[in-house]
Amino acid sequence: MGNDFKILFPTGYSVSNILDNGNIDANIFLENGNVYSVTFITPNNIIDLMNLNESGQQEDFFWMTDMVIVRNLSLTCIKDALQYLIESKSLDRFFQKIDTRSNWIPTKKEYELFDIYSSEEILQVR
C-alpha cells in the first residue's frame, strides 16, 4: 500500500480570504479504503475562537476533536501535514475513522458538489 490519498472538502475549498485565519473540514480517503474526518485549523483562528466564544465571552482554553493545526490552509500545507501523518501511521490515533470503502477513490461524479483533490493534484499546486 502506498501513501496516496484523496481529500474531499464537504463545504468546498474556498479559503482565499481565510488562508491564515480559518478552519476547514475534510474527509481523507486512503488506498486501503479507510476514510477519516478531520478539521484543519490555523493558530490565528484558535486565538480568535478563544477571544470570542458563542456567548461573547473570552475563554482561557480551546478544544476540538479530530483537528490538525496548520500554519495556513493552503493545499500544500494541508498535503504536507497529511503526508507526514500517513507516513508515520498516525491517522488512527488522531482522526475519526468514518467509513471503510471497497473503492477508495471518490470521483467528481460521486460527489459533484464537493471539491476533491488527490495527493498528485496537490503536488501540482506547488
Domain ranges of the chain: 24-125
Whole-model pTM over 0.85: no
CB atoms near residue 1 (< 10 Å):
6
Task: Calculate the dihedral angle through the C-alpha atoms of 66, 69, 72, 77, rounding to the nearest 10 degrees.
Answer: -80
pLDDT (tens digit, 9 = 90+) per residue, 95-111?
889 888 766 565 656 65
Q: What is the pLDDT of residue 125?
A: 47
Q: What is the pLDDT of residue 26?
A: 92
The whole-angstrom separation of Cα 66 and Cα 45 is: 16
Q: What is the pLDDT of residue 70?
A: 96
- Per DSSP, the three-state class of 1 is coil
Quickly tell me which residue has 472538502 as its cell: 9
pLDDT (tens digit, 9 = 90+) per residue, 71-89?
999 998 999 999 999 899 8
Which strand (E) or helix (H) includes residue 16? none
The whole-angstrom separation of Cα 70 and Cα 76 is: 11
pLDDT (tens digit, 9 = 90+) per residue, 14-34?
887 778 999 999 999 888 888
Percent of the chain with pLDDT over 70: 79
| Spatial CB neighbours of 52, under 8 Å, sequence gap ≥ 6 | 58
